[in-house]
Chains A and B, each alone.
Chain A
Amino acid sequence: MDPSPTPLDLLIDLLSIVCILAGCLMSLAAAIGLLRFPDLLSRMHAATKPQVLGLLLLLTAVGLQLRSWAVVPVLLVAWIFQLLTVPVAAHMVGRAGYRTRHVHRELLTVDELDEVVQSAARGETPDGRPE
C-alpha cells in the first residue's frame, strides 16, 4: 500500500503477523481445552485465560498496523475492561459449578474446601479449619 515500504515497515508488518497468528492460536487453545479437559473447572482454565493473552496480542497487532500513538489508550482501555470482567465471570461460574456438584471429585488430588464445607455442615465453628 505504501509507495515504498521501508525496512521498518516490513518489521512492523512481520511483528503484527506474528501477533495475529499467536492471538488466534490462543482462541484455538481455548477450544482444544474445552474439548479435551474432563470437567467444568479444568475447562474453565482453558477457556477464560488464554483469551487474556490472545486479546492483548491482537490489540497489539491493531496498534502496530495503525501506526499511531493516539490509539494506544483506547486499546489499553479495551484490554483493561477484559481484565476486569474475565476473572469475575470465571469466579461466578466456578463457584456455581462447585456448589452444584459439577466438580468430579475423583479428578481432584486435594480438596481443602470440602473439609471446610463438611465441618460447617457438622455445625462446627466456621473459621476453625480442621487441624
Chain B
Amino acid sequence: MTGAHAVLVAVGVILTLAAGGTIYRIAVGPSLLDRVLAADVLLAVLGAALATEMAVNRHLDNLVLLIAVSVIGFIGSVAVARFVSDRRG
C-alpha cells in the first residue's frame, strides 16, 4: 500500500511543520497571551495527530484523550486569560 504510506508521510510532514511553527511562537512570544494561544494550537496539532491515527488504524481509543486534550487547552487558556486581566487591572 504505497498510496496510504504516501498520505501518512504527507500528514507527518504537515503536522511537524505546524508543530514547529507553534513551538517557535511559544519560544519567541512576545507576550504571555501569545504563548498561551500558541500552546493551544500545539494541543490542537496533537489532537489532529491522534485523530489521524484513529482513522488509519480504525479504532476510537484516542477519542477520550482527544477530548481531554482540548478541555485542558480550554481551561489553560481561560485560566491564564483571567490571571493576566487580574494582574494588570
CB-CB under 8 A from A65, the residues of chain B are 54-56, 58
A92 within 8 A of B: yes
Asked if residues B14 and A100 are in contact (CB atoms below 8 Å), the reply is: no
State the majority secondary structure of interface residues on A: helix
Q: Which residue of B10, B19, B41 is within 8 Å of A47 (Cβ)?
A: B41
0/1 string, B27-61, CB within 8 A of A gives 1 = 00001011011101100110110011011101110
Binding site for B on A (CB under 8 A): 16-17, 20-21, 23-28, 30-32, 34-35, 40, 43-44, 47-48, 51, 54-55, 58-59, 61-62, 64-66, 71, 74-75, 78, 81-82, 85-86, 88-89, 92-93, 95-97, 99-100, 102
Which 3 pairs between the two chains have the least Cβ-Cβ distance? A31-B21, A58-B51, A92-B81
Asked if residues B33 and A78 are in contact (CB atoms below 8 Å), the reply is: no
Output the nearest chain A residue to B50 by Cβ-Cβ distance: A58
Asked if residues A92 and B77 are in contact (CB atoms below 8 Å), the reply is: yes
Once the chains are docked, how many angstroms separate the CA of A54 from the CA of B41?
12
